[in-house]
Structure 1
Amino acid sequence: MKLRAPMPSLDGAKWLKGRGWTNDMLTGKPTFIHFWSVSCNLCKHGLDAINHLADQYAGDLNIIAVHMPRTEEDVIVDNVKKVVKYYDMLQPIVIDNEFLITDRFNNRYVPSYYLFDDKGLLRHYQAGGSGLRILEKRIERVVHEHKGMV
């Protein structure tokens, strides 16, 4: 995806947690979408930090987790549920076993992080284990822009 591209649709996949968010429901405040997989250790190491972001920016930032399977075991919903419970993931979670959302984002990696502004335009993309640290400053900037603090 190119910077300033509109957020692809989140329709069509199964929502494990959340109410089946649509793009219309997400506009009005920044949105952080992360792709992860239960077979990805780097992804699991980042889940606590994402929970911290959810606490830090509660009410100011939408956070959506997209589970993108990489192995046959990853498509088993009970395996996803176990990791979600263990890491106390509170954000909405969509299971993308058919790669509907993954393909719309043209995403190929986990972990991958997408940050959209309050108009639904891509402001930053990062992949890999260190991607979350890099994104934290970008999230702060986009949230502050939304709140008129910049």
Structure 2
Amino acid sequence: EITIIRDIIEVKAVKNKVMGKNNNLGYIRITTFNVNTEPELKEVLNEFKKDSNIQGIILDLRNNPGGLLDSAIEVASKFVVEGPIVHIKDRDGIVATIESRGNKYPQWPLFVLVNKGSASASEIVAGAVQDSGRGKLLGERTFG
């Protein structure tokens, strides 16, 4: 007889590591935009903030299919200090601009990795970074 015990498997939305020749690059991989993404990212950025050796950030959005709009806005706001994050047009053609919610993190040089698997919320974050001039996008054309 075998007893199987059910358990909840937590899949983190944000993974990170310190890399580079001098351990001075913070690498952040976001796999999805859900309710846990912003708190997980905040925790990582706080770790990087404590590490005075960090001199740049690589934000990896490759093969991230997207997720929640509010999560994308929160994530983009961690990197884009001010200005628009996204413009939303409703069915009546009325456009609303969602502005950055600001942040308290150092403005490290930022590189965002994207590919054809980067869609939806990933494109919002990448677009906000690019349009604000806050960082460089590297990789392939995104899904949309």
TM-score, normalized by the shorter chain, greater than 0.5: no
Greater relative contact order (CA < 8 Å, ≥ 6 in sequence): 1
**TM-score interval (norm. to shorter):** 0.3 to 0.5
Structure possessing the higher radius of gyration over alpha carbons: 2
Larger relative strand fraction: 2
TM-score (normalizing by structure 2): 0.34
TM-score normalised by length of structure 1: 0.33
